[in-house]
Amino acid sequence: MLSSMKPERIQLFGEGDAPQKPIETLGAKGAGLDEMARLGLPIPPGFVIPTSAYRLVTSDEAGSIPESLKLEIDDALRRLEEASGKRFGAAENPLLVSVRSGAAISMPGMLDTILNIGLTRSSLDGLAARSGGSRRFALDSYRRLLEMFGAIALGLPSDALEAHYEEARVDGFRLRAPEDVSEERLEEVVRALEDELCRVDGMGLPQDPREQLYRAISAVFRSWDAPRAKRYRESEGIADSLGTACTVQEMVFGNLSPRCGTGVLVSRNPTTGEPKLYGEYLPNAQGEDIVGGSRIPYSIARNGTAPGNEERSLEARHPDAYARLSEIARTLEAHFRDIQEIEFTIEEGELFFLQTRAAKRSARAAVRFAVDLVREGRIDKDEALMRVDAASLERLFRPTLEPPTALEARGIKPLARGLPASPGAAIGELVFDPDEAIIRAAEGREVILVRRETSPEDVHGMKAAAGILTRGGGMTSHAAVVARGLGKPSVVGCASVDIDTKSRLLHIGGVSLPEGSPITLDGTSGAIYEGALELSASGALQELDTLLTWADARRRLTLKVNTESPSKLALARALGASGVGLCRIEPLLFPEFRRNAIQRYFLSNEENAAKEALDALELGLRSDLEALFTVDPSIPYTVRLLDWPIENFLPNEPKEKSRLASSLGISEEALEQSISALCEINPAIGRRGVRLNLLYPELASAQIRAIFNAAERSALEAPIEFLIPMISGPTELRLIRERIESEASGRAFRLGALIETPRACLLADRLAAYADFFSFGTNDLTQLVFGLSRDDASALWRDLLEEPSKHTQNPFATIDRAGLGTLIQRAIELGRSKKPDLVFGISGEHGADPASIHYAEELGIDFISCSPPRLPSARLSAAQAAILHKPT
């Protein structure tokens, strides 16, 4: 409890003993700084006000700092003055501090920071003296303080505050460089800001530095509860109760002179995973200039990715500093056993570290890092498996563009090139603001969001977009970091892009494209193309094979594939499927002539014609299935009998109807009548699944014979498995079992019930008598448990059904544990009670969802079956689930 905290409890970085739970108490940023101090790395002195204080401050409605806490802060500040050799609020050489938020889990850009706290009118000259007497520098620092304090502590709109300075930079049709804004003009800007702050507050920026500090701390704590931050946590599944710590640290300036600078360093390439230094810096700048993306920075390494500035790279310009950084990056990586992203500032040639944390990384880099760290002996295989986000693996299999050189050889030239901030290809319609992106995406259209630079306000639009393009920013800008986090292809820092928001035009490489025009982004090369280019399959990644081999050795769950296609099955075998868990009959009926046959079967008045149609179908099914089984006769195959409601097979289009009517020799009216007699009000809960097969027994028999005969002709090694959909009671299962037995002629088979009604779960003990295995059809189960049709109402989920302030998943994506989970558990208990060796599986989209796979592991499910592209992710998830469920 903070109330019982003694003043000495707030420690300066590196002081005293390391705290027991540093991240929970100090936040990730504070803990990283403390750790760096303990490693002897140069960091500006400072301290952390722990997360417990967040609760104390925000429990007060006004967010004021209690007196006891003020005493503790004052005490820490005194020791900070000692450590820095400067005095807070002194007119000469004043101690200025940054006040930053920092939670246990990183929320990039979501929480607030105020810099230059402690600066007042009376210390402006003292600060000016530090930059060689430049009052312009002191005024600019004061301007930044006013802007940040106004926006964050006083809640003024930051646009309006920043407009004063923006105006001062306007020079005809372009913006002046910051250094070209005159001292007088800056004085005016500062005065205008002071006035504006006074207008809301009466007092304006407090001229008592301590008051500034208290209010900044309070504002930083309160930023945890801003709607933006809440939304972010909701979407990322971060608990609200975590709270944030608050770091108070001496300011160092990267913008005092050309001998200053600021940068972000990543210990290995976070896009490709290559083991070499990566990052950017800006001379004579503050950190926000890099993150905010208002200037395009230079590379740290000589062979950095920003085109044309190799010579300006840190490696080229300051080889000593580069060598120092390399060494420190290695130290930090070894210490934290992970790839680090490090912020640094150089003040008058002196290097300071401001932050280190595990680097955000692309899916590709994550795989490579994990495998490389095992090879380097830093982590074991289990840890490597846990380090990669399983869901992200799918991205590695996404189609990509040919490289620019190959395209150019075919005459396809990019409109422009920027920095390849997040890999992959994206094709979509140009949009210029996040709201428009959301609107068009909701209509099912792919969009590319183009912005000058991005800020946390844009994140919702970035999520909706297929790709992101910015004019400003570098590889570590907000746009780049967020795009990599989201796995969205992104090109940033493309200076030859100009957005005309008034006439809704994008000027790029000499052409002007109106909003809505299709463009193609190559996030891997940084190239931007007009129109929609063709994509091709991406190559495999060697490290991924290694990682997945480790995963296979670790997982307990059997993985199967959902497919009807021989070529996809071949792919799935290569991707790790050990059988076909779900081969549906429906897709085999898609071809025109098959569709026509099934229509003739249902709609013909003549028995002979119906019989002929059915015979043709049987032969066709047999031959398709034979082709599938022949791909690998050594694996088991599960074939599901027809499940869809009849109306899915009936003609829709007037043309198709009139063709069918004339081929059946009946009038269109008669056909229309027959069709409407077969249609249902609620097809999802109508004449489908096992019901359809029992109502049309000859249709069931035709499928069963086709399946048996195909299995026989392709000499399958294991008995063929039948899966019976939409079971709601034991009689149905018994009746269909009898039908299969009557067609089997002694051939072996296994029978599975597709458990997709609540009643099937509740009567699982009675179903077990007739089944060899159960496969949970979690899509339909979810529909029925919620009484919510996926066809109609999945959009309702977000709006109505989720629990606010808690991370809940769309139940059609991740199994709903509270509701559906209970039923599945019950079904397993009941089924095993009657048949201990009953096999359980999950087929359907949940089968590849990592959270659902973890749940399947907990429940003791035997196999999951998913589509081929989701197999790698499922293999990794299954291994992770095994590790978490049964650590070695």
Closer residue to a copy of itself (CB): 71 or 769: 769
Q: Which of 23, 788, 824, 881 binds a copy of itself (CB under 8 A)?
A: 788
User: What residues are paired with 637 via a beta bridge?
Assistant: 580
Closer residue to a copy of itself (CB): 111 or 824: 824
Pairing of β 863-866 and β 839-843:
parallel
Taking the C-alpha atoms of residue 343 and residue 264, their distance in angstroms, rounded to an integer, is 5
For position 699 contacting a copy of itself by CB under 8 A, the verdict is no
Q: Which stretch binds a copy of itself (CB under 8 A): 155-163, 359-367, 598-606, 761-769?
A: 761-769
For position 791 contacting a copy of itself by CB under 8 A, the verdict is yes
Q: Which of residues 561-620 bind a copy of itself (CB under 8 A)?
A: none
Q: Which of 63, 518, 686, 719 binds a copy of itself (CB under 8 A)?
A: 686
Taking the C-alpha atoms of residue 757 and residue 735, their distance in angstroms, rounded to an integer, is 18
Quote the radius of gyration of the chain (alpha carbons, Å): 32
Taking the C-alpha atoms of residue 559 and residue 270, their distance in angstroms, rounded to an integer, is 31
Closer residue to a copy of itself (CB): 5 or 685: 685
- Residue 680 one-letter amino acid: E
Cβ 239 to a copy of itself, closest distance in Å? 17
| CB-CB neighbours of 490 under 10 Å | 34
User: Across the chain, which distance is largest between two alpha carbons, in Å?
Assistant: 104
Taking the C-alpha atoms of residue 292 and residue 294, their distance in angstroms, rounded to an integer, is 6
Q: Which stretch binds a copy of itself (CB under 8 A): 66-74, 155-163, 599-607, 787-795?
A: 787-795
CA dihedral 511, 515, 517, 523 (to 10 degrees): 80
For position 762 contacting a copy of itself by CB under 8 A, the verdict is yes
Cβ 372 to a copy of itself, closest distance in Å? 45
Scanning the structure block, which residue is given the tokens 């020791």?
Answer: 79
Cβ 756 to a copy of itself, closest distance in Å? 7
- Give the end-to-end CA distance of the chain in Å, rounded to a whole number: 37
For position 653 contacting a copy of itself by CB under 8 A, the verdict is no
| CB-CB neighbours of 588 under 10 Å | 21
Cβ 854 to a copy of itself, closest distance in Å? 20
Pairing of β 278-283 and β 261-266:
antiparallel
For position 677 contacting a copy of itself by CB under 8 A, the verdict is no
The CA–CA distances, whole Å, from 610 to 214, 599, 664, 692, 706 equal 84, 9, 10, 16, 17
Q: Which of 225, 234, 433, 802 binds a copy of itself (CB under 8 A)?
A: 802
Q: Both tokens of residue 159?
A: 């646009």
Cβ 638 to a copy of itself, closest distance in Å? 21
For position 701 contacting a copy of itself by CB under 8 A, the verdict is no
Q: Which of 294, 331, 674, 789 binds a copy of itself (CB under 8 A)?
A: 789
Scanning the structure block, which residue is given the tokens 């019976």?
Answer: 724
Taking the C-alpha atoms of residue 217 and residue 66, their distance in angstroms, rounded to an integer, is 12
Q: Which of 42, 683, 719, 869 binds a copy of itself (CB under 8 A)?
A: 683
Scanning the structure block, which residue is given the tokens 């809940």?
Answer: 808
| Site mask for a copy of itself (CB under 8 A), range 716-735, x = bound | ----------x-xxxxx--x
Q: Which of 311, 607, 653, 792 binds a copy of itself (CB under 8 A)?
A: 792
Q: Which of 264, 771, 823, 882 binds a copy of itself (CB under 8 A)?
A: 823
Taking the C-alpha atoms of residue 460 and residue 454, their distance in angstroms, rounded to an integer, is 11
Cβ 647 to a copy of itself, closest distance in Å? 10
Nearest alpha-carbon partner for 682 in 725, 642, 652, 647: 647
Whats the size of the chain, residue-wise? 888
Cβ 761 to a copy of itself, closest distance in Å? 9
For position 18 contacting a copy of itself by CB under 8 A, the verdict is no
For position 527 contacting a copy of itself by CB under 8 A, the verdict is no
Cβ 768 to a copy of itself, closest distance in Å? 14
Closer residue to a copy of itself (CB): 159 or 653: 653
Cβ 792 to a copy of itself, closest distance in Å? 4
What is the DSSP code string of 112-138? -EEEEET--GGGHHHHHHHTTT-HHHH
Scanning the structure block, which residue is given the tokens 């509701």?
Answer: 819
Q: Which of 627, 801, 813, 859 binds a copy of itself (CB under 8 A)?
A: 801
Q: Both tokens of residue 153?
A: 């502590």
Closer residue to a copy of itself (CB): 122 or 822: 822
Q: Which of 17, 159, 443, 799 binds a copy of itself (CB under 8 A)?
A: 799
For position 680 contacting a copy of itself by CB under 8 A, the verdict is yes
Burial code (b: 16+ CB inside 10 Å, e: under 16) for 149-158 equals: bbbbbbebee
Q: Which of 334, 574, 769, 796 binds a copy of itself (CB under 8 A)?
A: 796
Interface residues with a copy of itself (CB under 8 A) are 680-687, 690-691, 694-695, 726, 728-732, 735, 756-759, 762-763, 766, 780, 783-789, 791-793, 796, 799-804, 816, 818-820, 822-823
